[in-house]
Structures are given as structure tokens and as C-alpha cells.
A = this chain, B = another copy of it.
Amino acid sequence: MTLNIGVIGTGMIGQDHIRRCHFALSGAQIVAVNDINPEQARKVVQDLGIEAEVYVSGHELIDAANVDAILVTSWGPSHEEFVLSAIRAGKPVFCEKPLAVTAQGCKNIVEAEMNHGKRLVQVGFMRPYDQGYRALKAVIDQGRIGEPLMLHCAHRNPTVADTYTTEMAIVDTLIHEINALAWLLDDQYVSAQVIYPRKSSQALAHLKDPQIVLLETAKGVRIDVEVFVNCQYGYDIQCEVVGEKGIARLPEPSSVQTRSGARLSTDILMDWKERFIEAYDVELQAFINSVAGGSVQGPSAWDGYTAAVTADACIAAQRSGLIEPIKLPQRPAFYG
């Protein structure tokens, strides 16, 4: 009962997922691959030594009889059409973020999926599969700190490439907090404000860095997220939940504690890829298992849509300096 998967997009993350399915996870194999550059697809199949058919068309791959489920890991702007195509084919699809590059695109997917009548889409937000975030959510859900009132968060990178823009602080960086914190709180956002602190001299001229994003939820929880992508010292994700009777904090990544050179210290990761590396395995295994179990779970098209709407409001707040409302329809019963 091995799940036969087709992969659209064989760049770095596509290759990672292929490797996962073949060498780390249980119950799945890659039987078909597609890339906008067919040579690239062929090379990946050969290099990884897997037996998979190379399709020139992503849509043909989706429709192939031996393909049970689809991984969309292509260029962001192409996600929407492939996910819609998978829904038309009635096949489960795991789509890396973003679900679509516009809120409207996400909405199109939500509507298609609801018309289909059953969940087919899992969006590649991996933090809900991170052991630390799950432990944090368990502490909250067990009532150990009472009702959450405030979240103090940070998302820091040591440096970013020249191509990184002020808006990418929202759509590439904050987007993970947008998803994870709504999931953590089982809540949704109602307003956003962006504050620009003194700019770091380490940031490129065109970039406003750091930024502080203030989010408000329907339940009144207030969230501050420091986004600081030139912090120099490490890739560091912080999340502190202040509840009515206590505080809970996301665990630091495990590290050997050393005493040396007049310092008692633990290491901080410099490379973001290592931070949630185990969560990617858990996330994709969960997709495989949920498909095998007959019902797709995890971050949904609705979550992708609301993240897109929230990100749009944050960008508006970046530009206006004002508190921007976030208007979201009620979560359909379809999405639980």
C-alpha cells in the first residue's frame, strides 16, 4: 500500500522531498516528476537513482493513472494552476507555500476544494509539525498558563541576500509566524500595525530592518513579532506566550552546553535550514499518512488563504504606518 507520488518542480526543495520519500519516510515513493526544465527533472531522477517517469507537462503528471498524490514544489506563481488541476483530478496535493501568490488565487483554490466536497490540499507550513511548537501548544491547551493574552515573538536571520526587500519581511519571513501563531492560538487576526525601529547599519540601503509587526486577534490577543533579518548572530526563532496565570516559551534548539573561554554557552544555529529540518520529515509523513487514512489534514487551503489576506494587511500597514484592519470571512465548517 505504498503511496505513489508525482512531484512538480525539482529544485532544491523538490529534491529534498524526493529524498525524504525514498530514504527517510515510510509508505511512499516518487513515481513521476516534472520540471519547467525537463533536463533538470531527468538529472534529478538519475542522480537520486530512483525509478520515476519524467513528464514534460505538470498537468499530464497530475492526470497520470499511477500517480496517487501530488507534491507542488515549483515556482510560486505556478502553484495555483497545479493545485487547481489536482483538485479537478480529485487527487490529494501537498503544496509548498505560498498556496498562491495572491489572496484571490488562494480563494479560488478554497472554492474549488469546497466544490469538490472533500479536503485534498495540504499547504507546506511546517511549524505546526515542529516538536517545540507542538509542545508549546500542548502547554497552552492543557491550561497550564491560563488563557493566552499576549505573544512576544522574534524571527531573526543573520543576513539576507541583496534581493531581499522590505515586503519580503512579510511574505517570506513573517508568513511563518502568521500561520503558526493562528494555529497556536486557534484564533484569527483582526488588525495589523508595523513599526520601524532605528535601522541596523548592517542592513542594505534599500531595506528597512528590523521591523516590528503588531497583530491583534479576534479574541483580543496582542502579538508583537520582531522581524530582524540582519541580526548577525544567528537564525533565531522566539515565541513567548503570556497567559492569565503563567508564561510559556518555545524551546531553544537542543545544544551541548559548554564552559570555555570565560563563557558558559550553547550554540545558536546560523543556517535556517537546520532549524526545522525534522519538522519537514514529520510534515510530509503526516501528509502520506493522512492520504493513506483517506482524509487530508494539516494546514489547509483556508489557512493558506487567511495567511495571504493577513500578509496583504501587513504590507498595507508597512506603507501606511496605520493600524490596518484584517477582514476575514468566518472559517467555513468545511475547514473544521
Contact = CB atoms under 8 A, between A and B. Distances in A.
Interface of A: 22-27, 131-132, 135-136, 138-139, 144-150, 152, 195-202, 210, 212, 214, 219-222, 224, 226, 228, 231-234, 236, 242, 244-270, 285
Contacts of A23: 26-27
27 contacts: A22-B26, A135-B256, A146-B200, A149-B197, A149-B210, A150-B197, A197-B220, A231-B242, A231-B246, A233-B263, A234-B259, A234-B262, A236-B259, A246-B260, A247-B258, A247-B259, A249-B256, A249-B258, A251-B254, A252-B264, A253-B254, A255-B264, A259-B268, A262-B268, A262-B270, A264-B265, A265-B265
A201 B244 CA distance: 7
A329 to B, nearest CB: 22
Given A26-B22, A136-B256, A198-B221, A261 B233 contact: yes
Contact of A152 (B226, B234, B257, B268): B226
B260 A249 contact: no
Given A131-B254, A135-B254, A149 B198 contact: yes
Contacts of A221: 197-198
A78 to B, nearest CB: 29
